[in-house]
Amino acid sequence: MSEVLSSLSDDMAAAVAAASPSVVRVAARDRLPASGIVWSTDGAIVTADHVVERNDNIYVGLPDGRTVPATLVGRDSTTDLAVLRAEASGLTPPTWTGPDSLRVGHLVLALGRPVQAVWATMGIVSVLGQGWATPAGGQLDHYLNTDAINYPGFSGGPLVDGSGQVVGINTSAWLQGRGMILTVPSPTTVPSPTVHRVVETLLAHGRIRWDGTSLPTPVPETLVKQLGGEIGEVVQRVRRSLVQIHSAGSGRHGIGAGTIWHPDGLIVTNAHVVARNSLSVTLPSGSTLPARLLARDSRRDVAALVVDARGLSAIELGDSKGVQSGQWVLALGHPWGVADAATAGAVIGVGAGFPDIPQSHQEWIAVGLTLRPGHSGGPLVDVQGRLVGINTFTTGPEVGMAVPVHVAKSFLRQKLGSAAQHA
């Protein structure tokens, strides 16, 4: 199989890694912290104005894990930019590039650090226009909008191109008051020329006085065709390990999905999928067999079933601990009874402590894609088709959560012992 898709996924993860040392956490409000970007080595930080809700008691979380006090240097609500001065030195500013190097359709990544780790979402440039007056009366040098999801806490973080260079700062401020009901809005980006103009003025004067180049590589058409072919190959291979789970009265559409873990009939799914009795499983061959529940853990939302079958196609297990923000993954399942459907997106983040979700102390993989009823229990795979997670639920539009495969392995070892050799 061609390495094009794998190479693209690696490049996206590398872009996140390149920009991450310049992304900080900004705690300047009572709710979830937001993000910011290192402006200079001596502690200047640029962020979104609307996330700075107080003038003192401000803290900045640095990439090395330290949290340091910061003071407000200046702010401009019309462009939604603010400058802080963190009590730190030796920081790493990013490489900036102008939006003139972008075109509609280019791949970009939105980064944020609302917790200690950097999270990322991927999208394309949707709109790229000339100068634009904001609803607050500010002047942006370009109008730049993407379909990358602005996860809570992403405002003030960077939008980066495929090489990890910063093209602007993401904000959701101007979506408020437009009659939009969005849990996770797509951001508008304050472009880098505007950022430079406003930040330098704020550093010099503390306020705005309104008087007076490396190109990202576009995706070639031949590459798009290769990517489509590779994705198709991965999906076809994973489908050989994808099953549909039914319970009494669920009908032919079933209640969820599962993944063949062992050739001798061991299947892993979500605990909430198998909360009912009289379970059965439809195999990739089309045959439906009775299933017996072996173990179930509602806290981790993992369950194991077994069917009387041999020689099944067990999925290849991946390394969920090695999954990186920005990495491309695919989720398979049977949404609304549509068999063997697939959707793709970029990893937002991995670990515990995700805000605004149940059991936030648990480890999760957050992905920029939408999971529908029927995806639950299905496989989340990397671009080689290796299992890295079990699809579980959606926390907002286009933000899906999955149980990491290492959590599922731990569950199987605890519950089944030697019967879970594949784990």
Considering the domain architecture, whether residues 196 and 257 belong to the same structural domain is answered as no
The verdict on 42 and 91 lying in the same domain is yes
Q: How many domains does the chain have?
A: 2
| Residues 156 and 70 placed together within one structural domain of the fold | yes
Q: Based on the domain organization, do 162 and 301 belong to the same domain?
A: no
Query: Pick from 259, 290, 312: which residue ends a domain?
Result: 312
pLDDT in tens, 208-240: 655 433 334 445 556 556 666 777 888 899 999
The predicted-structure confidence for 362-407, as pLDDT tens digits, reads as follows: 889 988 887 888 899 999 999 899 999 999 987 766 788 999 999 9
Percent of the chain at pLDDT exceeding 70: 85
Shared domain for 189 and 274, answered yes or no, is no
Does 323 map to a domain?
A: no
Model pLDDT, residue 31:
85
pLDDT in tens, 235-271: 899 999 999 998 876 655 567 899 999 999 999 999 9
Residue 407 lies inside a defined structural domain of this protein: no
My answer on whether 262 and 171 are in the same domain is no
Q: Would the pLDDT of 358 be above 70?
A: no
Q: Is residue 114 located within the same domain as residue 172? A: yes
Same domain, 213 and 262: no
Whether residues 140 and 284 share a domain: the answer is no
Residue 395 lies in a domain: no
Answer yes or no: pTM beyond 0.85.
no
pLDDT tens digits, residue range 71-99?
999 998 888 999 999 999 999 999 999 88
Tokens at residue 373, please? 């009823």
pLDDT of 207? 72
pLDDT higher than 50, residue 131:
yes
pLDDT of 422 strictly over 70: no
Q: How confident is the prediction for the chain on average, in pLDDT?
A: 84
Q: State how beta strands 23-27 and 34-38 pair.
A: antiparallel
Per-residue model confidence as pLDDT tens digits over 294-328: 999 998 999 999 999 999 999 999 999 999 888 88
Q: Which residues contact 410 (CB under 8 A, 6 or more apart)?
A: none
3-state SS of the chain is: CCCHHHHHHHHHHHHHHHHHHHEEEEECCCCCCEEEEECCCCCEEEECHHHCCCCCCEEEECCCCCEEEEEEEEEECCCCEEEEEECCCCCCCCCECCHHHCCCCCEEEEEECCCCCCEEEEEEEEEEECCEECCCCCEECCEEEECCCCCCCCCCCEEECCCCCEEEEEECHHHCCCCCCCCCCCCEEEEHHHHHHHHHHHHHHCCCCCCCCCCCCCCCHHHHHHHHHHHHHHHHHHHCCEEEEECCCCCCCCCEEEEEEECCCEEEECCHHHCCCCCEEECCCCCEEEEEEEEEECCCCEEEEEECCCCCCCCCECCHHHCCCCCEEEEEECHHHCCCEEEEEEEEEEECCCCCCCCCCCCEEEECCCCCCCCCCCEEECCCCCEEEEEEEEEECCEEEEEEHHHHHHHHHHHHHHHHCCC
Last residue of a domain, one of 261, 281, 312: 312
- The pLDDT assigned to 149 comes to 81
Q: Which one of 312, 331, 362 terminates a domain?
A: 312
More confident residue, 354 or 148: 148
Whether 260 is in a domain gets the answer yes
Within a domain: 235: no
139 and 46 housed in the same domain: yes
Least confident range of 9-13, 178-182, 195-199, 323-327: 178-182
Q: pLDDT at residue 277 above 80?
A: no
Query: 93 with 27, same domain?
Result: yes
| Tens-digit pLDDT profile for residues 399-418 | 889 999 999 999 999 988 75
Whichever domain contains 16, its CATH number is 2.40.10.120
In a domain, 111, yes or no: yes
Instruction: Indicate whether 405 belongs to any domain.
Output: no
Distance of CA 250 to the CA centre of its chain: 32
Domain at 273, CATH number: 2.40.10.10
154: left (phi over 0), alpha (psi -120 to 50) or beta: alpha
State the angle between helix axes of 4-19 and 221-239 in degrees (0 to 180), rounded to the nearest 10.
100
Average pLDDT, stretch 137-159?
A: 86
Shared-domain flag, residues 253 and 213:
no
Instruction: Count other Cβ atoms within 10 Å, centred on residue 367.
Output: 32
- What is the β-pairing status of strands 34-38 and 266-269? unpaired
Residue-number span of the structural domain to which 307 is assigned: 243-312
Q: Looking at the domain assignment, is residue 4 inside a domain?
A: yes
Per-residue confidence at 175, pLDDT binned at 50, 70, 90? low
